[in-house]
Chain A
Amino acid sequence: MKKNVRKIICVVLVLSLVVLALAMLSACNKKQQDMSRDTQKDAQAREASCNTMLNNIMKVASKDWNSSMTDQEIVSLDDAGEYVSNYYWAKFFVDTLNHSGLRTMKLESVNAFIESELKKRDEKKEDAVSSADEKQEEVILSATDFILDFISSSGLLAQETASMTFAIITSLLDNAQTVYTAAIEKCNNLLNPGRTDIEVTDKARISIQKEIADLERSREYIVNTFSGEVKKELLQSMDEGKPGFEVLFETVFDFGGLLSTGQFKSVIDGGKGAMSNLSKNDILNFLDSIRIKLANMYMYFDDNVDDVEKLKDTFDRISSITNTFIAKNKIVYSALNMVRYVNTIMDMLPILTDLLLNCWTVFENDETFIDDIITYFIKANKSYEENAYILMARAFMEYKKNTGDTVEESKEYSLNFIDTIDKNIAGDIYSSCIYIFLEFVMDSGNEGKYFDVDTEGKTAEEIKQAKDEMMNKLSRPLTAVFIGLGGLRKTYEKFLTLDSVKKEDVTYRVNTVVDMLTDMGIVSEELKHIATIPDGNTDPWFTSVYNLLEGIIKDELIPQAIRVADTCMPKYFEEIYVPGVLEDMANSNWVTHDDGEEQIDPDRAVLEEKVKNLNLFKMLLVIPVFAKIFR
């Protein structure tokens, strides 16, 4: 035994190195942690996200609501009817997203977005309480603001946003009737006299009864317009138009993100961070990437004319059917608005893309163009707007060169563009195309020069007077549409979605429009009596007044404005397309800022004179204007 001690120690020592090596080698290949997907956890997370979303949407609608209220809690609410309606629409929205294939993490993103909106709303409310001046302001965002914010802040891919929008519109067409029915059944169930487990308050009862009436009306409308073959056809054509819709919306949403997050501007004006201190080449590279994107979309439009036509046709039909439908629910309202925007965009975007793509070579052919662009944007607050016209003239010259358009062709192209706008105005008077229209014809510098008036035997003073009258004829109805009815419409939307607008606000808005119409000589018996809000339930009154005013404006003022515009447009284009005018503008000297005392820059004076005649270039400002479309 003793003899072996030395041997054992010896063996141990000799083997120590081997053991050390083996131990370390085995440590190198130690068992790995399992990182495979936890499907059970995923399913739970998805369910939790959907529940949270439902709850959040209910909270957005009212801070007193949540998605898990018991029947007793519901019938204790003053606005119990609205709760039911909102609950079913919220559920519709969540179910649609859940089945749309949107990934769980993106559902969480949507949730995070809604929560941030909730937070924003609460903060704004606090601010409004602390500021007496802002008490009148409603906190809830408009549907379009909501959509724009969603695109820019939710972090969803453009393709996901497009698919989601498509899924909501399709699901709305398919299931709206079911949702209305479910909500009605729930309301009836709550008011069921046989139910002894709940005690309905008087206010809740009134609210539910009112809601049932509204829901029934909407359901009836849907049954009459979207059921049977019509619905089947619409869904089929939606399905056929899906690829076109997604391509279009992906591009639009992506640009929406680019414009609305302010990143585009920060790239151009030398923003900070990863995109800071960009060189001329960097900006050119960046713009070129955008061009490629636009070109791809344009190619799609070009290659898939039939699909695009089908889609356009579908949306036209949906628009015309829903034109008279009052979408009381915000989700329905947003979805239908989206359909209207699609209509507008589908008309405008190919034209604008063609315009932009044909202008694009200016970056290659005009060496100083990018420098001037940078100068203009970086010093935007110091630059003269006239310089933008010079840039546009240079770009437009490039367009002309690329397309080889003659003066007549350019004129025709522009008139077609105006026609498109006209068509949209006729379709949706609230389309933001009005902005363009207003920009176009209401420039104060024109002094009515494009209006055709009978000049025979008239003095210059009289001619001017006649033109001023024409100008009035055009401007006042547009002012009424844009300012008067715009404000009224906003108030009405709030009234529809919230039912919490103040009587003073309603009175103010209605009176403004009535005054405008009266000033224009539109006097009717009905108008005389509507300015006073009756006591008690104002809902029927406000709805009827709104419909009346909208009807007058649509029937009388818009056609009048279009008629007047039509008379002056050709003349306007005649003047603009005089050969040499664009060239002259494009070759004008760049106006530099004078940091010294105020004095009239001679270059600027010359340029201002030229600009007066070149309002067409404002059309080229449609890109920033389109940003407004979503606002």
Chain B
Amino acid sequence: MIAKLAFKNVISKIWRTLATVVAVAISIAAVFLILSFKSAIYDYISRNSIANTGTEYGVHIKYSPNGDKTITIDAARAHEEVEDVSPSLEFYWLFNDEYVSLRGFQEGKLDSLNEVRPMYGSMDDIKNVDDVIISYTTAKYFNLRLGDCFTFVSTKNVPYKFEVKVIAEDEGYFGGRGIPVVLANVKGISRIIIGSETEIYNNLYIKAKPGVSNSDLVKILAQDPKFENLIVEESINYEKIGQSATNFSATVQIVGVAVMILAVFGIAIILLLSTNEKRDYIAKLSIIGASKKQIAGIFLIELAITGLLGVILGVGFATGLHAVVLFALAGTLKTFKIVAWKLIVSLIVGFILTMVFGSYPMLKAFRGTIRDNVVDSGKKTPLTYIVPIGLAVLTAVTFILGFTVRPLYGIMGILSLVLIILLLAVLMPIVLKLCVKPFAKHKDTKAPLKLAAIAVTRNKQTVSAGRLLSVGLVAIMLMFAIWKMTTSVFTGYMNDFKNIVFVTNTTQDDVPVLSQTEGVDRVFQVYWGEVKISYNGGSKEKGTRLIGSKEVIDAFDFSFITPKEVVMQRLDEDGYVFIDKSMQRLYNIREGEEVNITLDGKTKTVKVGGILSSTLFTGNYLVMGPKTLLDTFGAKTNNTMITTKSDTTPQNVVNIIRSKYAGEHNYYAAALIDMFKFDISFLNNVFAMIGILAGIILIMIAVSLSSSDMVAHGIRITEREMLMCAGMSKKMLFKSELLEHFLVAIITFVISVATVFALFAALLNAIALFGLYFEIAWPTFIQNLWVIVVVGFALCAYYALIPLIFAYKKGYKLRAR
């Protein structure tokens, strides 16, 4: 009987039930998307490393720009800790004016590191040393099919042809991003660089014996004199991957807090909207003699049905939308990973919230009498005043602390962000009432507006809608703000690369040669690589990029915290490194402080010679003079950087270099921006993912708003009937309802836009928790403010137009009783 009644309730208000189910499902999906975001980024980044090295061969010995370029296998095999060695020859070469990554392995061992899943052809077709395997994407990119060939022209102008024998899925070796990979026999590709099928190697991938850890094997091999001039490292740098994933997802994770608050609000508001109605229903049930147990049974079954339906739909939304986000990231999607615990947590959270907020009317009804439940007294408790004031004070304190106490930047940032949103939700009804009161009170106010204003001041459903809208607005505006900001921060500096040509495999002797190239402005040698810096007396360590050159100071847009003349002087001296202002701010590294730099496996102590400021690599860089580079680290500049004249393009200069020196030199010349082409594409994918996430959340908020508004609209049917009985026309009633939405939308919009500034400031402090500081965050925010405002406005406009969109007017009628 109880269950029957519960089912009847669910079915009799089917649209309300569905709206609630959707709201629950959306909240579940939102929580899941936020929880899964970082791991999605992590998986995406790690795919690249795994594609390069696989997972079995955990140690990688590779050539060093300043050491040996070739490696023999025997020395590695001689170690008893080594289970197996897979050698390879890898280099970039031009095909159709584009670089491809040639990876040569021993005969029959092309798939030794990673899997190859043939789509066309089979591994048994690989018979000649010039048979190659490419991925489906590469084949499509170069418009190749089985039997077609790559022609690689050697520096001696000999054209070597390689036949495509297998086209494989974009998995395994081909699962990474970046330059297209061509998998070949080492003998085949050796010919390109030495004109002979002699096997030479520049990489060793080593599998440790069971019981030997990769890190231990790295230590053992690094001590072998045979490898002293090579780089010995773990194949996959999980630390670096984690750092990158953190960098790209930090802002989303923080905004995710706002989204999660929104998810809670989404479920809470839609379930609390009908509190009075439910109390009324409980009163009726009590009158006809239903016990509390029976009433609880009816409500709990009803909630469980709603919750379970929400969970079921939530699973669909969560997985489907997660797949959409991943597709935006990777471009292709064969399979995708769902982390079970994250989905389960999301589902449990959604279900529990449904049960908790759904039970609230029942619990409240049980506390009061039948009269209390039928007639809402609307009494105000002291908490009505204490909560907003206390919250406001707490918010102000945390906000100020976030700017003043350095170690507390991050934690205060995140706290103030949460508190600001909660404060907004708490204050929004008050603000709404205050703002519309003049309209409600003023005698000359036209009837529809007056009616709308009165509804805003008195109607709980309308106030709740304002609350939901405000939280949704700030969440979505923050989401779009970080989308635009991260895009600018992580790729904006690449604008500086636009007139630069980068030539690798060069020495100082090449500078005069390359200077003769037409269209060249400045030519200088540079070291361009990755290093580790440890600071605070060696207690903390961080990977960063090193630019070893003095001339680079004028090639990029640097400003100087330390006077320029001091910096320039120290760049000529030995023992100095220069850091960015962001590093100074985040890690408290000071000018003159001693830091340890690890370059090509050599760790040396140098002094911080000065503080620079630049958007380059979001401030994650070091600059070092050639003297320090050579004298302290024994490293030579192995690349040439060329700035081009304004009357030409970098590509023109690249073409000249490639054609002019093709026969004599094996320069790897490319426009610097092109060298980052795949990084940019990767970052754009990540940012597209944030954008897609923002878009999805926008739709979610819209759906959530629609659901709750329709529920509220349904609840207010009696109110409308009364007005119509009093002689109000349908047109006026509709106008009034529309105006009510407009009033809420406009006021919420203004307040939310103002709040977003404070939230953004809190967010910038909060990302310090992830070791990030973006110098250009505010300029970017201001620059993209219009996008944020437009998105907010669109959502408000949507909310305002809900009565029109859902044709509320059509449902205005007097029910027969």
B807 touches which one: A9, A105, A264, A272 (CB < 8 A)? Answer: A9
**Interface residue A403 (Cβ < 8 Å from any Cβ of B):** no
0/1 interface trace, chain A 104-117, chain B, CB 8 Å (1 if under): 01101100100000
Among B529-569, those with CB < 8 Å from A are none
| A274 adjacent to chain B (CB < 8 Å) | yes
* B window 52-82: CB within 8 A of A: 67-72
B421 in contact (CB, < 8 A): no
- Taking the closest CB of chain A, its distance from the CB of B90, in whole angstroms, is 10
Q: Give, as a whole number of angstroms, the nearest-CB distance from B188 to chain A.
A: 8
Interface size class on chain A is: 35 or more
Is B599 part of the contact surface with A, judged by Cβ < 8 Å? no
Nearest Cβ on chain B to A123's Cβ, whole angstroms? 15
Known: A27-B327, A35-B167, A37-B146. A255 touches B196 (CB 8 A): yes
Contact of A18 with B by CB under 8 A: yes
Tell me the residues in window 1-35 of chain A with beta carbons closer than 8 Å to chain B beta carbons: 2-3, 5-7, 9-10, 13-14, 16-18, 20-22, 24-25, 27-29, 32-35
B781 → A minimal CB distance (Å): 29
Interface flags for B5-19 (1: CB within 8 Å of A; 0: not) read 000000000010011
Contact (Cβ within 8 A) A6 B806:
yes
The answer to whether the Cβ of A583 comes within 8 Å of any Cβ in the partner chain is: no
**CB-based contact B200/A289 at 8 Å:** yes
Known contacts: A24-B327, A157-B130. The answer to whether A37 contacts B811 by CB under 8 A is no
Is B684 located at the chain interface by the 8 A CB criterion? no
Which residue, A6, A32, A293, has most C-beta atoms of chain B within 10 A?
A: A6
Contact yes or no, A257 B196, CB < 8 A:
yes
Q: Does A532 contact B (CB under 8 A)?
A: no
- Across the interface, B156 reaches (CB within 8 A) one of A7, A22, A108, A261, namely A261
B774 on the A face (CB < 8 A) = no
Report which of A18, A105, A112, A273 forms a contact with B667, defined as CB distance below 8 A: A273
- In the complex, A468 Cα to B163 Cα: how many Å? 63
Q: Could you tell me the distance in whole angstroms from the C-beta of A131 to the nearest C-beta in chain B?
A: 24
Return the chain A residue nearest B509 by Cβ: A272
Q: Kindly supply a per-residue 1/0 record for chain B positions 780-817, scoring 1 wherever the CB is within 8 Å of any chain A CB and 0 otherwise.
A: 00000000000000000000000001111011000000
**Contact of B139 with A35 in the complex, beta carbons under 8 Å:** yes
- B507–A105 contact, CB under 8 A? no
Q: Which residues of A contact B296 (CB under 8 A)?
A: none
Decide if B158 touches A152 in the complex (CB within 8 Å): yes
Q: Which of B314-322, B373-381, B734-742 contacts A (4 or more CB under 8 A)?
A: B314-322
A557-573 Cβ-contact flags toward B at 8 Å (1 or 0): 00000000000000000
Q: Please give, as numbers and ranges, the residues of chain B lying within 8 Å of A33 by CB-CB distance.
A: 140
For residue B812, give the distance in angstroms from its CB to the closest CB of chain A: 11
Per DSSP, are chain A's interface residues mostly helix, strand or loop, or mixed? helix
B490 to chain A, nearest CB (A): 24
> B256-264, B611-619, B644-652, B699-707: which one contacts chain A?
B699-707
Query: CA separation between A29 and B316, bound complex, in Å?
Result: 18
Q: Is B591 an interface residue (CB 8 A)?
A: no
Known: A36-B146, A109-B159. A273 touches B317 (CB 8 A): no
Which residues of chain A are near B129, meaning CB under 8 Å?
157, 159
Tell me which of A279-287, A471-479, A500-508 binds B. Answer: A279-287
Q: Tell me the chain A residues, 248-305 only, with Cβ under 8 Å from chain B.
A: 254-255, 257-258, 260-264, 267, 272-279, 281-282, 285-286, 288-290, 292-293
A153 at the interface (CB under 8 A from B): yes
Q: How long is the Cα–Cα vector from A37 to B164 in the complex, in angstroms?
A: 10
A367 within 8 Å of B (CB atoms): no
B798 CB, min distance to chain A CBs, angstroms:
11
Given contacts A28-B332, A153-B158, A272-B666, contact A277 B196 (CB under 8 A): no
The one of A13, A254, A274 in contact with B703, judged by C-beta atoms closer than 8 angstroms, is A13
CB distance from A591 to the nearest CB of B (A): 27
Asked if B156 contacts A38 (CB within 8 A), the reply is no
Q: Which residues of A contact B229 (CB under 8 A)?
A: 279, 281
B194 within 8 A of A: yes
Q: Are B810 and A281 in contact (CB under 8 A)?
A: no
Say if the beta carbon of A42 comes within 8 Å of chain B.
yes
Given contacts A17-B317, A105-B149, contact A267 B194 (CB under 8 A): yes
Instruction: Sort chain B's interface into a size bin.
Output: 35 or more
Chain B residues whose CB sits within 8 angstroms of the CB of A17 once the complex forms: 26, 317, 320-321, 696, 699-700, 703
Most buried by B among A27, A105, A255: A105
> Which of A257, A260, A290 has most B Cβ within 10 Å?
A257
Q: Which residues of chain B have C-beta atoms less than 8 A from A217's C-beta?
A: none
Are A152's CB and B505's CB within 8 A? no
Contact in complex: B197, A157 (CB < 8 Å): yes
The reply to whether B155 and A273 form a contact with Cβ atoms under 8 Å apart is yes
Quick check: is A155 within 8 A (CB to CB) of the other chain? yes
Complex Cα gap A278–B229 (Å): 12
A289: which B residues are within 8 A, CB to CB?
A: 198-200
Given A27-B327, A261-B158; A286-B200 close (CB under 8 Å): yes
Which A-chain residue is minimally distant from B71 (CB atoms)?
A285
Name A28's closest neighbour in chain B (CB-CB).
Answer: B333
B664 at the interface (CB under 8 A from A): yes
Q: Which of B158, B226, B323, B700 has the most CB of A within 10 A?
A: B158
Interface membership of A103, Cβ < 8 A: yes
Q: Is B128 an interface residue (CB 8 A)?
A: yes
Proximity string of chain B (106-135) to chain A, C-beta cutoff 8 Å, 1 when within and 0 when not: 000000000000011100000011100000
Whole-angstrom distance between the Cβ of A410 and the nearest chain B Cβ: 30
Cβ of A82 to closest chain B Cβ, rounded Å: 32
Q: B390 an interface residue at 8 Å Cβ cutoff?
A: no
Interface presence of A485 (CB below 8 A)? no
Closest-by-CB residue of B relative to A25 is: B323
Q: Give a binary string over A150-180; 1 marks a CB under 8 Å from any B CB, 0 the rest.
A: 0011110111000000000000000000000
Assess whether B327 is in contact with A293, with CB atoms less than 8 Å apart. Answer: no
B659 to chain A, nearest CB (A): 15
Chain B residue contacts of A28, Cβ below 8 A? 323, 327, 332-334
Given known contacts A263-B193, A272-B665, A155 and B158 CB-to-CB distance under 8 angstroms: yes
Q: Which residue of B121, B167, B194 is within 8 Å of A264 (Cβ)?
A: B194
Q: Given the complex of chains A and B, what is the CA–CA distance between A388 and B321 in angstroms?
A: 73
- In the bound assembly, the distance between CA atoms of A261 and B121 in angstroms comes to 34
A138-158 residues at the B interface, CB under 8 angstroms = 152-155, 157-158
- CB of A2 within 8 A of CB of B327, answer no
Q: Does B22 contact A (CB under 8 A)?
A: yes
Provide the B213-231 mask, 1 if CB < 8 A to any CB of A, else 0: 0000000000000100100
Query: Which residues from A are CB-within-8-Å of B806?
Result: 6, 9-10
Residues on A with beta carbons closer than 8 Å to the beta carbon of B807:
5-6, 9
**Cβ contacts under 8 Å, B510 to chain A:** 272
**What residue of chain A has the Cβ atom nearest to residue B813's Cβ?**
A3
> Are A6 and B810 within 8 A (Cβ)?
yes
Chain A residue at minimal CB-CB distance from B661? A272
Contact A6 B664 (CB under 8 A): no
The answer to whether B22 and A14 touch across the interface, beta carbons within 8 angstroms, is: yes
The answer to the question of B136 belonging to the interface, with a C-beta cut-off of 8 Å to chain A, is yes
Q: Nearest chain-A residue to B331 (Cβ)?
A: A28
Name, among B159, B638, B805, B807, the residue most crowded by chain A CB atoms within 10 Å (CB to CB): B159
Please state if A293 and B323 are interface contacts (CB–CB under 8 Å): no
Q: Which residues of B are found within 8 Å of A276, using beta-carbon distances?
A: 505, 507, 666
A285 x B72 contact (CB < 8 A): yes
Given contacts A261-B158, A282-B68, A285-B71, 17 further A-B contacts (CB under 8 A): A32-B136, A35-B140, A109-B161, A152-B195, A158-B197, A254-B196, A258-B198, A264-B194, A272-B665, A273-B193, A273-B666, A275-B69, A277-B69, A281-B68, A281-B70, A286-B194, A292-B199
Interface pairs (10), CB distance under 8 Å: A13-B706, A16-B699, A17-B696, A20-B699, A28-B332, A154-B158, A274-B505, A285-B72, A286-B70, A286-B200
- Listed in ascending order, the chain A residues whose CB lies under 8 Å from chain B are 2-3, 5-7, 9-10, 13-14, 16-18, 20-22, 24-25, 27-29, 32-38, 42, 103, 105-106, 108-109, 112, 152-155, 157-159, 254-255, 257-258, 260-264, 267, 272-279, 281-282, 285-286, 288-290, 292-293
Closest 5 CB pairs of A and B: A273-B666, A21-B320, A261-B195, A28-B333, A258-B196
